[in-house]
Amino acid sequence: MTMRRRIIVTISAVVVGALGLGAAIWFGAVPHWRPALEDGERYGIDVSAHQGEIDWDAVAGDGIKFAYIKASEGQNWVDGYFEQNWDGAEQAGLERGAYHFFTLCAPGEEQAENFLAVAPPDDDALPPVIDLELSGNCSDRPPADQVAAEVDAFVQLVEEAWGRHLLFYVRPDWDDVYPLRDGLDRRLWDYRFFRRPTDERWHVWQVNTFARVDGIDGPVDLDIMRNDEDLVD
């Protein structure tokens, strides 16, 4: 074997080894990593039909204290696992809240009616959530003023029914096309992969979308919630 070939083989082996180590860290450590909690914080998850059957007692036994559960999407879609998850989380002693995936292809008022039919006001529940993201949304991209009006219609109806402010989950892809966060006067459910939020309005922090939690087959979103009194206006 020539010197050049030995060098190539050695470099290839190092690269393969590094990739293997990286994969081992990613698939072994990342799903099980949880940042340390600060005062007033607790771990939670958000789930939908994608998680399938959930053993909620096992979830609670893995240090999870709350769950946000998908209720609806658009004007007529209902998550088939919502009632099962809603009841299961309560029976396991978890705090629970409902969220709605807002679509660009339906009027905000009709979406609110859909959500409220599935998740009517509940004084014991966590604040309801509007999920704003382009990933998984329909292909329509209406003008920004039209989208803002439809979001406002949804928010007004749901907040009036619940008598509480909504929590806003706003992904960066949404905010890039339909800027919302800067002028928002509501609490945030902030998506920050591994990094603590810098926006002091955050109430829930989505830490990891590849987490592993007992009682759930496959990955799940891991979240951290802090107490209302810890929030900065």
Alpha helices in the chain (DSSP H): 3-28, 56-61, 82-91, 108-118, 144-162, 172-177
The predicted pLDDT at position 23 comes to 38
The predicted pLDDT at position 195 comes to 87
The predicted pLDDT at position 18 comes to 36
pTM: 0.85
pLDDT, one tens digit per residue, over 86-136 is: 999 999 999 999 999 999 999 999 999 999 999 999 999 999 999 999 999
Residues of the chain with pLDDT under 50: 9-10, 12-24, 26-27, 230-233
The predicted pLDDT at position 83 comes to 98
Q: What CATH number should be reported for the domain whose range is 36-230?
A: 3.20.20.80
The predicted pLDDT at position 17 comes to 40
Collapsed DSSP state (helix, strand, coil) of residue 24? helix
**Rounded-to-integer distance, Cα 191 and Cα 172, Å:** 8
